[in-house]
């Protein structure tokens, strides 16, 4: 067990025994405030656009992500869910593909709840996890309203999509973007007015949506062509130790 985990467990034991480790005000501040961003290029702000009109649900993104990042079998950093959407007026039913991944929020609720600051937001907007620092408490998993995090069954620490940051830093595209046969996923620098993603978002301005905008998390995964049925009603919160949407569950929205 590394030092950070021993320290965390030691403090937890002390609190349980009734010993005051630190003032409550300091604990509350640490768990409710967004800590300073660190690392990454401060001149960039990465985001992703997903054109649902181009997604065919082939799961090439899911497979390539799993090969690249090696999550345990049955757990995924990104996956394409298939839904049946029924029009209440016409009663017609259509299949809808909805790729899911970390939304790299500008106001990420998963970050301030981490008691050891093992997850943080880089200056380029990407939210990352330090698996060596993480104690596997699962607070961030519960805090994410998009079901984008999970406790890795093998490492017992938090896991999630990080836009394949190691590939971006090497000048490569994330695995899911590179493998998308329909060109549905577009990643780029939102601070660059001439970037491909900004052109696509501008051209489809009236048809761009994000998941759960009412939560003020300010997601930076933008969906083009998404039906309104998914904006607020998509399943988000899930139990820590139960199957989540990232287990490939089929859903139905009407």
Cβ-Cβ contacts under 8 Å for 37 (sequence gap 6 or more): 120, 121, 122, 123
- The edge-to-edge listing of strands for the beta sheet with 93-100 is 93-100, 79-86, 251-253
Range of the domain at 119: 44-228
Q: Is residue 31 part of a domain?
A: no
Tell me, what CATH number does 188's domain have? 3.30.70.20
Q: What is the pLDDT of residue 251?
A: 31
SS (H, E, C) the chain: CCHHHHHHHHHHHHHHCCCCCCCHHHHHHHHHCCCCCCCCCCCCCEEEEEECCCCCCCCHHHHHHHHHHCCCCCCCCCEEEEEEEECCCCCCEEEEEEEECCCCCCCCCCCCCCCCCCEEECCCCCEEECCCCCCCCCHHHHHCCCCCCEECCCCCCEECCCCCHHHHCCCCCCHHHHHCCCCCEEEEECCCCCCHHHHHHHHCHHHEECCCHHHCCCCCEEEECCCHHHCCCCCCCCCCCCCCHHHCCCEEEC
Q: Is residue 246 part of a domain?
A: no
**Contact assessment for residue 203 and residue 223, using Cβ atoms and an 8 Å cutoff:** no
**Contact assessment for residue 96 and residue 13, using Cβ atoms and an 8 Å cutoff:** no
Q: How many domains does the chain have?
A: 1
Q: Is residue 2 part of a domain?
A: no
Q: What is the pLDDT of residue 191?
A: 96
Q: What is the pLDDT of residue 244?
A: 35
Rounded to two decimals, the pTM is 0.79
Q: Is residue 171 part of a domain?
A: yes
Q: What is the pLDDT of residue 68?
A: 98
Compute the distance between CA of residue 160 and CA of residue 69 in angstroms, rounded to an integer: 10
Q: Is residue 193 part of a domain?
A: yes
Q: What is the pLDDT of residue 240?
A: 31
Buried b / exposed e over 92-103, threshold 16 CB at 10 Å, is eeeebbbbbbbb
Q: What is the pLDDT of residue 91?
A: 81
Q: Is residue 237 part of a domain?
A: no
Q: Which residues of the chain have pLDDT under 50?
A: 11-30, 235-254
Q: What is the pLDDT of residue 32?
A: 59
- Distance, CA of 4 to chain centre: 25
Q: Is residue 20 part of a domain?
A: no
């Amino acid at each position: 067990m590394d030092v950070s985990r021993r320290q965390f467990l030691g403090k937890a034991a002390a609190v349980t025994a009734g010993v005051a480790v630190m003032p409550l005000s300091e604990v509350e501040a640490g768990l409710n405030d967004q800590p300073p961003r660190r690392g990454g290029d401060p001149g960039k702000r990465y985001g992703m656009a997903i054109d649902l009109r181009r997604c065919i649900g082939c799961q090439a993104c899911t497979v390539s992500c799993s090969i690249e990042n090696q999550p345990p079998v049955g757990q995924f950093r990104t996956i394409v869910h298939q839904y049946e959407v029924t029009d209440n007026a016409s009663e017609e039913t259509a299949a809808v593909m909805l790729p899911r991944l970390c939304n790299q929020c500008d106001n990420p609720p998963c970050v301030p709840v981490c008691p050891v600051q093992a997850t943080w937001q880089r200056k380029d907007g990407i939210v990352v996890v330090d698996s060596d620092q993480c104690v596997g408490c699962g607070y961030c998993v519960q805090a994410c309203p998009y079901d984008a995090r999970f406790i890795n069954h093998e490492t017992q620490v938090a896991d999630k999509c990080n836009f394949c940051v190691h590939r971006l830093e090497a000048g490569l595209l994330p695995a899911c973007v590179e493998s998308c046969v329909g060109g549905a996923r577009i990643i780029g620098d939102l601070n660059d007015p001439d970037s491909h993603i900004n052109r696509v978002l501008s051209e489809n301005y009236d048809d761009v949506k994000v998941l759960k905008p009412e939560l003020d998390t300010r997601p930076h995964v933008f969906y083009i062509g998404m039906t309104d049925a998914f904006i607020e009603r998509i399943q988000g919160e899930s139990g820590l130790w139960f199957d989540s949407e990232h287990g490939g569950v089929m859903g139905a929205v009407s």
